[in-house]
Amino acid sequence: MATFSLDVDTGSYANVRRFLNQGLLPPPDAVRVEEIVNYFPSDWDIKDKQSIPASKPIPFAMRYELAPAPWNEQRTLLKVDILAKDRKSEELPASNLVFLIDTSGSMISDERLPLIQSSLKLLVKELREQDNIAIVTYAGDSRIALPSISGSHKAEINAAMIRWMPKAVPMAVPGWNWLISRRRRGLLRAASIAFY
């Protein structure tokens, strides 16, 4: 059984595609069916999104299609479409993002660090002035690579990412405890922390 989030995650498709483009089979835990399904656009017409007014208490609409399975007449397939309310970016609350990035020697293989950098650059494009982002790296020790900064400083954020270089230490000293201790001391209030 797979769960489907209303905030669509499509990361597994891109990851599986990357493996296949390199002539490799993706590891089983990289194949998340729900994220692969969510990657493809629904045939639900975009105008239907306007039929869910902002004032409506139900945050999504659903539709069902039932059809016999083409490969077995004894079976029936049920397709469920769930359409979440479209929210404009200006309607969203400000975000306070903190990324903890592993820059140890283990990140040298499979272009792991460049993949994280390119993914974060896509995120940076979407940051607004009221959003904040901070980056902590760890490889033998923890260090603040980018103090909390407004999303409007895109050039400065991208420049901080270019400076990351994997360090040849066999195992990174976890920076997680360091980050959590700062949060407990009130230095990372209301932050969403992502670990890579």
pLDDT band at 89 (very low <50, low <70, confident <90, very high): confident
Q: What is the CATH number of domain 90-195?
A: 3.40.50.410
Predicted confidence at residue 125, as pLDDT, reads 92
* Residues 6 or more apart in contact with residue 95 via CB below 8 angstroms: 127, 131, 132, 192
How does residue 51 score in pLDDT terms, banded at 50, 70 and 90? Answer: low
Indicate whether 189 pLDDT > 50. yes
pLDDT digits (tens, 9 = 90+) for 127-185: 999 999 988 887 767 778 888 899 999 999 999 887 766 555 444 445 556 555 655 55
* pTM above threshold 0.95: no
Which segments of the chain does DSSP mark as H helices, in order? 11-21, 33-39, 112-126, 154-162, 176-184
Contact call for residues 65 and 78 (beta carbons, < 8 A): yes
Instruction: For residue 141, give the nearest of 175, 93, 184 by alpha carbon.
Output: 175
Radius of gyration (C-alpha) of the chain in whole angstroms: 21
The most confident of 3-12, 40-49, 70-79, 168-177, by mean pLDDT = 70-79
Cα separations (Å) of 9 from 5, 84, 132, 136, 196? 7, 13, 22, 24, 17
Domain boundaries, the chain: 1-40, 52-86, 90-195
pLDDT digit string, tens, across residues 98-129: 888 887 777 766 677 778 888 889 899 999 99
**What would the pLDDT profile of 12-38 be if each residue is shown by its tens digit?**
888 899 889 989 999 998 898 888 888
Mean pLDDT of the chain: 76
Query: Among residues 120, 115, 108, 119, which one has the least CA distance to residue 145?
Result: 120
